[in-house]
């Protein structure tokens, strides 16, 4: 990619897309195409094809998606599978049809099997049953990975995919009904502190293990892969470290300065018991994360306090 190359960041207002935009701008890329849903609804084929025909982007970062935590995935499975399938099919096909030089599709580590061997290698995908609480989202994301793989195999399109672990950072979704675990805990502990609540309830037993990556590290990896990776097999992007939900909750409690208790609710789901990516393939290319979990949580909490309404 040249600094003047025309680059379309799909989903530029979201957690991942906004981080990719910040990274590209920091690196001096000046010709970014940024369209909100009110301008181009990516679930509508006609609008997407009209956009690609008019704008003719050279490179595409496909970060647009409908995302959410366990509660949202269990409550709205039809929306999760439909919207994500439509976005992927429309953008990937139009990118091929209108001659995009390279496309990077963002998958998710939650699409690996529920009982997957740990750490999870790229080749473990589709080797077992999916986690039921996010099956609809996972099926759609698997389809996106396969679209890129098959368009590359059949047409020679330079479409690649990466598989990020659990992400967090500025511009995350802090809605308690639809958010992932880190933004939900940040909001819960902050509100409990300012309202002097005696305890904070955390779903599950707290024993589940998770890997987390700051979204600015992911954006750095995406730019790295766009420059250095061309294989049809997807590639894992993570920190290589894991933490229990209980440890995470106590870390956020400390950062927020909350003095009350943490009550775990074992009647609510834990989700996948463990989910750690094998990142040896990415490390062999020369990339590693730079932001520690504690530092990333601290900066995200500070961003939330300053910006969220």
The answer on whether 74 is annotated among ligand-binding residues is no
The answer on whether 286 is annotated among ligand-binding residues is no
The answer on whether 257 is annotated among ligand-binding residues is no
The answer on whether 188 is annotated among ligand-binding residues is yes
The answer on whether 15 is annotated among ligand-binding residues is yes
Whether the bond between 193 and the residue before it is cis, its omega within 30 degrees of 0, is: no
The answer on whether 165 is annotated among ligand-binding residues is yes
């950072």: which residue's tokens? 169
């647009």: which residue's tokens? 64
The answer on whether 108 is annotated among ligand-binding residues is yes
The answer on whether 166 is annotated among ligand-binding residues is yes
The answer on whether 260 is annotated among ligand-binding residues is no
The answer on whether 169 is annotated among ligand-binding residues is no
The answer on whether 109 is annotated among ligand-binding residues is yes
The answer on whether 24 is annotated among ligand-binding residues is no
Buried b (16+ CB within 10 A) or exposed e, 237-268: bbbbebbebbebbebbbebbebeeebebeeee
Indicate if 137 belongs to the active site: yes
Dihedral of CA 65/251/237/130: which sign?
negative
The answer on whether 167 is annotated among ligand-binding residues is yes
Between CA 4 and CA 226 the distance in angstroms is 15
Which residue is catalytic, options 96, 137, 229, 301? 137
The answer on whether 270 is annotated among ligand-binding residues is yes
The answer on whether 141 is annotated among ligand-binding residues is yes
- By annotation, the residues acting in catalysis are 137
Residue set of the binding site? 11-17, 106-109, 141, 164-167, 180, 188, 203, 210, 270
Residue set of the binding site for NADP(+)? 11-17, 106-109, 141, 164-167, 180
Residue set of the binding site for substrate? 188, 203, 210, 270
């Amino acid at each position: 990619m040249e600094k003047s190359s025309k680059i379309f960041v799909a989903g530029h207002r979201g957690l991942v897309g906004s981080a990719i935009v910040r990274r590209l701008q920091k690196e001096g890329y000046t010709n970014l195409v940024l369209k909100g849903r009110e301008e181009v609804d990516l679930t509508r084929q006609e609008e997407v094809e009209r956009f690609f025909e008019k704008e003719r982007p050279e490179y595409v970062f496909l970060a647009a998606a409908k995302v959410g935590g366990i509660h949202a995935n269990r409550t709205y499975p039809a929306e999760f599978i439909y919207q994500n399938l439509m976005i992927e099919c429309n953008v990937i096909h139009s990118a091929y049809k209108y001659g995009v030089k390279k496309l990077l599709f963002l998958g998710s580590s939650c699409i690996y099997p529920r009982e997957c061997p740990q750490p999870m290698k790229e080749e473990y995908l589709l080797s077992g049953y999916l986690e039921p609480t996010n099956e609809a989202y996972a099926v759609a994301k698997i389809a996106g990975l396969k679209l890129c793989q098959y368009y590359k195999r059949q047409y020679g399109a330079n479409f690649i995919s990466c598989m990020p672990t659990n992400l967090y950072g500025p511009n995350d979704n802090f809605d308690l009904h639809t958010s992932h675990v880190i933004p939900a805990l940040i909001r819960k502990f902050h509100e409990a502190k300012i309202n002097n609540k005696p305890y904070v309830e955390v779903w599950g037993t707290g024993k589940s293990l998770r890997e987390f990556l700051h979204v600015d590290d992911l954006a750095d990896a995406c730019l790295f892969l766009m420059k250095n990776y061309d294989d049809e097999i997807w590639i894992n992007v993570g920190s290589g470290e894991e933490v229990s939900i209980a440890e995470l909750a106590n870390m956020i409690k400390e950062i927020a300065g909350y003095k009350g208790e943490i009550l775990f609710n074992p009647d609510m789901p834990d989700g996948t018991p463990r989910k750690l990516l094998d990142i040896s393939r990415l490390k062999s290319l020369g990339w590693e994360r730079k932001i520690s979990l504690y530092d990333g949580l601290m900066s995200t909490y500070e961003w939330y306090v300053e910006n969220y309404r």
